[in-house]
Amino acid sequence: MMVHAVIGLAPLAAGAFVLEASSSMVFGIGPVVWAFLFRGSLIGMLLISFPSIVTGIAERNHMYVNWPPSHRIKLFLSVALVALVGIELVSVFGLDAPLKIGSWLSLAVIFGNCAVVLALSAYGLRITLGRQSLAGTSYQPDMDFDPPINILECVSDFAEDPAKLIDVREER
């Protein structure tokens, strides 16, 4: 669930950067608040990314034997996001001049972070949900088979069987 915060903070940081750099006032919210949101978003992304990466690696190693390419790419993107946000933070806190929209920092915050987070989200959905990706699915509805299969007919023979319960207190 932590990764959702990172996903939300990347566009918030981008928007706050633009509003701070342009000294905009939106609904009575001025540049000082945008500066706070921008820096706070970057700090939040960095702090939340570390436990997200560690728990992702631990869970991956706990449940599976190998690391397929999609997981390796996701790990690489996670480390790249941490490095990118770290560089941005060092630059922002070391910057004496006001933020500029045409700078490398603006490109990194507005496009770089959001692109990496978008790629992480796409791979996360692909890994977690399997079928929800841009690729074709391997799922084929039972009724598309020739002849069609009615799953209820297949399992009706077992409807009268007693439920198979396992009492964990009796396992040895």
The reported pLDDT for the residue numbered 63 is 65
16 is a domain residue = yes
Q: Is the pLDDT of residue 82 over 70?
A: yes
39 is a domain residue = yes
Lowest mean pLDDT among 2-11, 46-55, 59-68, 153-162: 59-68
Q: Is the pLDDT of residue 45 over 80?
A: yes
The reported pLDDT for the residue numbered 130 is 60
**How many other C-beta atoms can be found within 10 angstroms of the C-beta atom of residue 147?**
6
Domain count along the chain: 1
The reported pLDDT for the residue numbered 141 is 59
Lowest mean pLDDT among 16-20, 22-26, 29-33: 22-26
**How many other C-beta atoms can be found within 10 angstroms of the C-beta atom of residue 166?**
7
Instruction: Give percent of the chain above pLDDT 90.
Output: 17
What average pLDDT does range 54-62 have in this prediction? Answer: 76
What average pLDDT does range 18-37 have in this prediction? Answer: 84
Query: What's the rounded Cα separation, in Å, for the pair 72 and 74?
Result: 5
Query: What's the rounded Cα separation, in Å, for the pair 39 and 16?
Result: 9
The tens digit of pLDDT for each residue in 114-167 reads 999 999 888 887 777 765 555 555 555 566 667 777 777 777 888 888 877 777
Q: Which two tokens stand for residue 80?
A: 């790249």
17 is a domain residue = yes
Structural domain that includes position 118: 2-129
The reported pLDDT for the residue numbered 46 is 92
105 is a domain residue = yes
User: Higher model confidence: residue 107 or residue 43?
Assistant: 43
